Chains A and B, each alone.
Chain A
Amino acid sequence: MQRIGVFVCHCGSNIAATVDVKKVVELVRYEPGVVFADDYMYMCSEAGQEKIIEAIKENKLTGLVICSCSPRMHEKTFRACAEKAGLNPYMVEIANIREQCSWIHKDREEATEKAVILARAAIAKVNLNTPLQEGESPVIKRALVIGGGIAGIQTALDIADAGYPVDIVEREPSIGGRMSQFDKTFPTLDCASCILTPKMVEVNQHPNITLYTYSEVEGVSGYVGNFEVQIKKKARSVDMAACTGCGECQAKCPLGKMGKIPSEFDRGLKNRPAIYMPFAQAVPAVPVIDRENCTYFKTGKCGVCAKICPSKAINYEQEDEIVTEKYGAIVVATGFDIINLDKYGEYAYNESPDVITSIELERLMNAAGPTGGHLERMSDHKQPKDIVFIQCVGSRCDDEKGKPYCSKVCCMYTAKHAMLIKDHWPDTNVTVFYIDVRTPGKNFDEFYRRAVEQYHVNYIKGQVGKVIPQPDGSLMVQGVDLLDNKQIMKKTDMVVLAAAIEPNKGVRKIATMLTASIDNNDFLTEAHAKLRPVESPTAGIFLSGMAQGPKDIPETVSQAGAAAVKVVGLLAKDKLKTNPCTAKCDPMFCNGCSTCANVCPYGAITYEDQLVRGPGVNETRRVAIVNIALCQGCGACTTACPSGAMDLQGFSNRQITTEVDAICQ
């Protein structure tokens, strides 16, 4: 018989305001097995834990029930506390009377009654708990970073500097990501490539970093400390070792002059050859052949690049290659893109070349961009004298077209764009239509105010209804000034749309492979929104950058560093404790039918011939064996098992049944 102690937490007034904790203590005191019951203001506090330890020692407790917040919050805390007092940590059960009781019910009597029932269920379960021992599994001391933008780069550098090998997998031919497309960065206006390029070079030269560019993650298996990942290195058609990056090939590619392939890097504002480096500072400085467009791959004729390459690096025969590597931790830094604007026909983005997105404007203002940094209209290559910015295109929407969240960076980059334009071409009129200007961040509001006060950028509160291309090539912007209560018809030369940010399209596939959860907007979810912001709920998976939610560069770099620290903390361990709540087979009932192995997602079940001895049985037969290093404790096998031989420790059939009984009294 267990000797159970029940501890009811007030959680300040979080629980006590709705649940009569004293009454709970009185009512559970006489439950079977309970020898001690008490309440306290904050059970999770130092003093609260001391109280528990004392009670365990004084009353020789063998099991604990803590009636408190969600086990997802403090189960670990109380298990550690039990362990301190010499009790097996798996003899602790939590009755969730905060999130699932006091916070959602208003009626005190009702909530108290429910709290008692939840406590009873936990007590009933502890009565059947058995001490469980955590296993151990080794940690592979190597990390994988998916995505080579500023987030991935920073995470990889920090891990590598701590002394652990890191691999970066980047889908594009070069690392650098979105930031490499930008011109200047807010709020200090330093040049994006000036601060990014050195980091890219450092990544390339770091002895602890291996780069897989033009590569994608194809498959992931394993678990924290022990992932096995397949990486597909797409055929570059260029021998990386031989290529010197001289650029002859892309200069001579006949398709370069024909201007048929829009450059992805320049967002279609410029064309590129079929063999290309996305931009001059690409890392690695090795071009790729875009096989879908290359004449040689389409018709078998051409071969100019192979002929002129001085180092004979072109290899048309190269094939995709799959590399398999093992990692202890994986960081997802897949970044973002902006939404497709096809559904926003009212802004004439598809009709007029002079309606552009902010990223296109970055390229247009970038000295290395398609116009050499000269701001011009794509229709007639004239410098615009009047520019209108439209904010929140697809952000903060509650319809089918847009995104419900604030994209967070648009207010600041628009202020940046406005100031840079005014700086270079002071006689340009700049107007910004905004709903709200959101500038939380160090020196951010000052930055925005500078745009208004020093540069006289015209900020109009109100949204634009329609952008109307005019026969003379200008654009008429029909919007509203909500503060003046006037409809505005404004003639302009160029319109820049702050399109909503969305997670990179590939993230869904990657999240599925990693069993990392994503939210309704496809952003990766954190293990805890406040307390574990750079970890995925799936152990061993970490989050860095925009993949987790909209954020600017300073925030991304901080998060990237935080993710790196978490990874290093994991890799620094030689062994990890494994979840002891694993499946266990009772050979007495097992007939080796293989049903369990078929449903096990981890391949943790094997079979062996065993001598089974029991009442009326004495034979050697095939029975299931669970590999506890692989078993993750999902319990699929226990439900599938036709003979009831398979059970899950910590969530056994008897334990759950007794919980059902306790609730249905």
Chain B
Amino acid sequence: MTKQEIEKNVELIKEISGCDPYKCMRCGKCSGSCPSFNEMDIKPHQFASYIINGNVEELVSSKSLWKCLSCFACIERCPRNVEPGKLIDAARQLVERERGGDHLQAEDIPELLNEDVPQQLLVSAYRRYRR
């Protein structure tokens, strides 16, 4: 990414998430709460500093985007109203809105199905992983 692209993406993440990463005081309560912590390469308490420091490229290519369970534990407990879950969701949006950014392909679905899968799992996977 060029410097301009990085700046643009930082602004986009802030705008989509509606969060102010500068409010973060690095207390780590998000990471202390996250059920998916061990699955992530960039940890919840790092999301804010990645955005502040313009390390957007690393962030959007991080597997954390796909490991977040959207359980809102970090959002509920963040004492500074930074709400890291929203930041990572915005980074995911950024990826998915690019051409070819879909994380789930329609042709893969049949393989993933079993007879118990509830409809809402498919619906939500579509909404979470595709534009």
Q: Mark A438-477, 1 if CB is under 8 A from B, else 0.
A: 0000000000000000000000011111100000000000
CA distance A115 to B25 in the complex (A): 40
A175 proximal to B (CB < 8 A): no
**Complex interface residues of chain A between 381 and 415 (CB less than 8 A to chain B):** 392, 396-399, 401-402
Contact A435 B27 (CB under 8 A): yes
Q: At the interface with chain A, which of B57-65, B72-80, B85-93, B119-127?
A: B72-80
**B32 contacts across to A, CB distance below 8 A:** 462-466, 478-480, 487-488
Q: At the interface with chain A, which of B4-12, B33-41, B98-106, B107-115?
A: B33-41
A574 proximal to B (CB < 8 A): no
What distance in Å separates the Cβ of A4 from its nearest Cβ neighbour in chain B? 49
Contact B27 A465 (CB under 8 A): no
Q: Mark A481-518, 1 if CB is under 8 A from B, else 0.
A: 01001011000000000000000000000000000000
Chain B, Cβ-Cβ closest to A346 = B77
Contact A480 B37 (CB under 8 A): yes
**B79 contacts across to A, CB distance below 8 A:** 392, 396-399, 401-402
**A487 contacts across to B, CB distance below 8 A:** 31-32, 34, 37-38
CA distance A401 to B77 in the complex (A): 10
15 A-B Cβ contacts within 8 A?
A392-B27, A399-B81, A435-B27, A435-B28, A461-B28, A462-B28, A463-B27, A463-B28, A465-B29, A465-B31, A465-B77, A478-B32, A480-B43, A482-B28, A485-B43
Shortest 5 CB-CB contacts between residues of A and residues of B = A465-B33, A465-B32, A463-B29, A480-B31, A462-B28
B26 proximal to A (CB < 8 A): yes
Contact B80 A462 (CB under 8 A): no
Contact A480 B45 (CB under 8 A): yes
Contact B78 A465 (CB under 8 A): no
Q: List the interface of chain A (C-beta within 8 A of B).
A: 346, 392, 396-399, 401-402, 435, 461-466, 478-480, 482, 485, 487-488
CA distance A276 to B27 in the complex (A): 44
CA distance A401 to B73 in the complex (A): 15
Chain A, Cβ-Cβ closest to B33 = A465
Contact B77 A435 (CB under 8 A): no
B97 proximal to A (CB < 8 A): no
Contact A399 B28 (CB under 8 A): no
What distance in Å separates the Cβ of A463 from its nearest Cβ neighbour in chain B? 4
CA distance A346 to B33 in the complex (A): 9
B67 proximal to A (CB < 8 A): no
Contact B45 A482 (CB under 8 A): yes
Contact A397 B29 (CB under 8 A): no
CA distance A435 to B28 in the complex (A): 8
CA distance A87 to B111 in the complex (A): 95
What distance in Å separates the Cβ of A438 from its nearest Cβ neighbour in chain B? 13
**A464 contacts across to B, CB distance below 8 A:** 29, 32
**B45 contacts across to A, CB distance below 8 A:** 480, 482
What distance in Å separates the Cβ of B125 from its nearest Cβ neighbour in chain A? 26
What distance in Å separates the Cβ of B28 from its nearest Cβ neighbour in chain A? 4
Chain B, Cβ-Cβ closest to A435 = B27
**B73 contacts across to A, CB distance below 8 A:** 465
CA distance A566 to B33 in the complex (A): 50
Contact A397 B80 (CB under 8 A): yes
**A402 contacts across to B, CB distance below 8 A:** 79
**A462 contacts across to B, CB distance below 8 A:** 27-28, 31-32
What distance in Å separates the Cβ of A208 from its nearest Cβ neighbour in chain B? 47
**B23 contacts across to A, CB distance below 8 A:** 398
What distance in Å separates the Cβ of A82 from its nearest Cβ neighbour in chain B? 48
What distance in Å separates the Cβ of A301 from its nearest Cβ neighbour in chain B? 51
Known: A465-B77, A487-B38. A435 touches B33 (CB 8 A): no
Contact B80 A466 (CB under 8 A): no
CA distance A399 to B23 in the complex (A): 11
Chain B, Cβ-Cβ closest to A479 = B32
Known: A465-B77, A485-B43. A396 touches B25 (CB 8 A): yes
**A465 contacts across to B, CB distance below 8 A:** 29-34, 73, 77
CA distance A402 to B81 in the complex (A): 11
**A479 contacts across to B, CB distance below 8 A:** 28, 32
Chain A, Cβ-Cβ closest to B82 = A398
Chain A, Cβ-Cβ closest to B83 = A399
What distance in Å separates the Cβ of A346 from its nearest Cβ neighbour in chain B? 6
What distance in Å separates the Cβ of B127 from its nearest Cβ neighbour in chain A? 27
CA distance A487 to B39 in the complex (A): 11
What distance in Å separates the Cβ of A362 from its nearest Cβ neighbour in chain B? 25
* Residue in contact with B78 in the complex, picked from A396, A399, A478, A488, CB distance below 8 Å: A399
What distance in Å separates the Cβ of A489 from its nearest Cβ neighbour in chain B? 10
Given contacts A464-B29, A480-B31, 13 further A-B contacts (CB under 8 A): A397-B79, A399-B78, A401-B79, A435-B25, A461-B28, A462-B32, A465-B32, A465-B34, A479-B32, A482-B31, A485-B43, A487-B32, A488-B32
Contact B26 A435 (CB under 8 A): yes
Contact A466 B33 (CB under 8 A): yes
Chain B, Cβ-Cβ closest to A344 = B77
CA distance A461 to B26 in the complex (A): 10
CA distance A462 to B27 in the complex (A): 6
Chain A, Cβ-Cβ closest to B78 = A399
Chain B, Cβ-Cβ closest to A485 = B43
**A401 contacts across to B, CB distance below 8 A:** 79
CA distance A638 to B10 in the complex (A): 57
**A488 contacts across to B, CB distance below 8 A:** 32
- Which of A346, A480, A482 has its CB near the most chain B CB atoms (within 10 A)? A480
CA distance A91 to B100 in the complex (A): 77
- Which of B26, B31, B77 has its CB near the most chain A CB atoms (within 10 A)? B31
CA distance A465 to B78 in the complex (A): 9
**B77 contacts across to A, CB distance below 8 A:** 346, 465
